DNA sequence: TTTTATTATCGTATTTTTACGATAAATAAT
DNA sequence: ATTATTTATCGTAAAAATACGATAATAAAA
C-alpha cells in the first residue's frame, strides 16, 4: 500500500495493523515464543531454532525490529535480541482493546 | 510461503500468524471497528465507510471471512456481516496468551 | 596479521497482496 | 418483463513479502 494511503485511516488503525503485520508470519511468532521461553535476551542461536536460512531469519528479525517489538544490541561479533517491554505492552494493550471492544451482537 | 512450509511451524504459530495477517491491514481493522461500533450485524454500508472501491472492500471482507473472524449472511440483495464470537474469542485468547507469556527479561 | 565466527545487506527470483474497473449474479422494485 | 441495487468475482497491473545464496562488515581468536 502506498504511503499516502496511510492517511486514510486513523493512527490507531494503522498501528494495530502494523503490529499485527509484524506477527503475521509463523517464523516471527516462533522467534518471539523462543525469546519468551528463554526468558532473557538471546545472543546468536535464533537461526539454529528455525528451519530457514540465516539471511531469511535476519530479515524476519529486522521486521520485528522495525515495529519496535524487538531491540538488538551488538555484543562483540554477536547480536543480542530482546523483546522491548514498552512496545510489547503497547501491542498487548491495543490487541486487548480491540478484542474487548466487541461484546457481542444479534 | 508455500503450503508445505506450514509444517515447519506449530499449529499455534500458524494460527496466530494467520489471524494476525487478517488484521494486518488498516482497512480490515477499520471494518472490524465499524462492526463493533454498530454493535450489530451490518448489512450493506461498509463500502461507504471506507476510502476504497467496492471490489477492494469485498476482497478485504473475504480475507476476514477466510480466517473465520467474519461471517456473512445473504439477505435478499444485501449481505449482512457479523463478527463470529467464537473465532473472536479464539483470537483474543491466542493474542492474550502470547502477550502474557512474556513477563520481562534482563 | 590472518583466520574464524557472526550478523547484516545485496541481488534476485518467486509468490502474495493490494487495488481497481469491468462484469456477472442475485434479488428487489417498477 | 425490465430496470435498478447490491455484492461477488474476474482480469490485471503494481507493489510488497518471502526466501536464498553470495558477499560485506565487524569483532574475536589464533
Q: Which residues are paired to B78 by β-bridges?
A: B75
Whether the Cβ atoms of residue A66 and residue A101 lie closer than 8 Å to each other: no
C-alpha separations of B58 from B19, B45, B53 in Å: 18, 12, 9
Hey, which residues 22-41 in chain B have their CB within 8 Å of chain A?
Answer: 23-30, 32-33, 35-36, 39-41
Is nucleic acid strand C under 7 Å from A78's C-beta?
yes
**Segment A11-52, tens digit of pLDDT:** 999 999 999 999 999 999 999 999 999 988 888 889 999 999
Q: Does B53 touch chain A (CB under 8 A)?
A: no
Spatial neighbors of A73 by CB under 8 A, at least 6 apart, are A41, A79, A80, A82
Closest Cα in chain A to B89: A99
Grid coordinates representing B47 are 463500502
Q: What kind and span of H or E run contains A72?
A: strand A70-75
H or E stretch at B51 = none
The predicted-structure confidence for B32-51, as pLDDT tens digits, reads as follows: 999 999 988 888 889 999 99
In this structure, is the CB of residue A54 within 7 Å of any atom belonging to strand C?
Answer: yes
What pLDDT band is residue B1 in, cutting at 50, 70 and 90? very low
Mean pLDDT of chain B: 92
Of A8, A20, A21, the CB nearest to B51: A8
- In whole angstroms, give the CA distance from residue B106 to residue A41: 7
B13-17, B22-26, B76-80, range with the lowest pLDDT: B76-80
CB contact A75 to B (< 8 Å): no
User: Which spans in chain B are helix H?
Assistant: 11-22, 26-38, 46-49, 54-66, 85-101
- Triad A25, B11, A14: Cα angle to 5°: 30
Q: Is B82 in contact with A105 (Cβ distance < 8 A)?
A: yes
Q: Is the CB of B79 under 7 A from strand D?
A: yes
Residue-range domains of chain B with CATH: 10-93 (1.10.10.10)
Amino acid at each position: 500500500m502506498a504511503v499516502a494511503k496511510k492517511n486514510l485511516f486513523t493512527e490507531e488503525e494503522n498501528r494495530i495493523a502494523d503490529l499485527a503485520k509484524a506477527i503475521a508470519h509463523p517464523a516471527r511468532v516462533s522467534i518471539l515464543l523462543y525469546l519468551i521461553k528463554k526468558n532473557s535476551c538471546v545472543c546468536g542461536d535464533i537461526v539454529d531454532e528455525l528451519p530457514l536460512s540465516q539471511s531469511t531469519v535476519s530479515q524476519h528479525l529486522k521486521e520485528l525490529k522495525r515495529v519496535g517489538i524487538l531491540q538488538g544490541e551488538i555484543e562483540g561479533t554477536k547480536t543480542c535480541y530482546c523483546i522491548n517491554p514498552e512496545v510489547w505492552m503497547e501491542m498487548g494493550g491495543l490487541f486487548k482493546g480491540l478484542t474487548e471492544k466487541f461484546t457481542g451482537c444479534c
